[in-house]
Amino acid sequence: MLTIFKKIFTWWNRDTLGTSIKTIFFGKLIGTDSFGNKYYESKKGKRWVIYYGEVDASKIPVEWYSWIHFTPNKIEKNHDLKKYEWQKPHQPNLTGTEMAYYPNKNNKDAIKKKYKSWKK
């Protein structure tokens, strides 16, 4: 019962009831990415994504970014982009999580003031 209410009223738990109905009737599955996100397109050309897990726009990898934003690119035709060995895998925005980047995270005294206060 609670999941039905979440589906109807909240958009941050994947897709809403309206998006599900629109996807069933008008959406054509174009493909999925390595994160499990599904990409759809309507007959009129509108494109959307159903996220796997938490809804976060930074979860769209570079292979699908150009497609979802209508940017003509050679990647658009081939979503299986070959990566070089020096390229890192795509990560969503980790700000606010435990995995966020902090300079000198291990040394808490490393961040020092570069100025002196005139008040004592």
Token pair 């808490």 in the structure block, residue? 108
The count of domains in the chain is 1
Q: What is the mean pLDDT of residues 6-22?
A: 71
Q: Is residue 60 part of a domain?
A: yes
Q: Is residue 65 part of a domain?
A: yes
pTM of the predicted structure, to 2 decimals: 0.63
Q: Is residue 30 part of a domain?
A: yes
Token pair 């658009």 in the structure block, residue? 76
Q: Is residue 72 part of a domain?
A: yes
Q: Is residue 57 part of a domain?
A: yes
Q: Which helix H or strand E contains 18, and what residues bound it?
A: helix 17-26
pLDDT value of residue 35: 85
Q: Indicate the pLDDT class of residue 42, thresholds 50, 70 and 90.
A: very high
Contact 15, 40 (CB under 8 A): no
Q: Indicate the pLDDT class of residue 118, thresholds 50, 70 and 90.
A: confident
Residue 82 Ramachandran class (φ > 0 left, ψ -120 to 50 alpha, else beta):
beta
Q: Is residue 21 part of a domain?
A: no
Q: Is residue 10 part of a domain?
A: no
- What single DSSP character describes residue 44? T
| Spatial CB neighbours of 6, under 8 Å, sequence gap ≥ 6 | 13
Q: Which range marks the domain in which residue 71 is found?
A: 26-76
Cα separations in angstroms, 111 against 48, 82, 103, 120:
43, 40, 9, 21
Looking at the predicted structure, is the pLDDT value of residue 36 above 80? yes
Contact 75, 69 (CB under 8 A): no
Q: Which helix H or strand E contains 47, and what residues bound it?
A: strand 47-50
pLDDT value of residue 44: 92
Q: Is residue 40 part of a domain?
A: yes
Tokens representing 15 are 């897709």
Task: Determine the Cα–Cα distance for residues 44 and 31; give it in Å rounded to an integer.
Answer: 18
Looking at the predicted structure, is the pLDDT value of residue 109 above 70? no
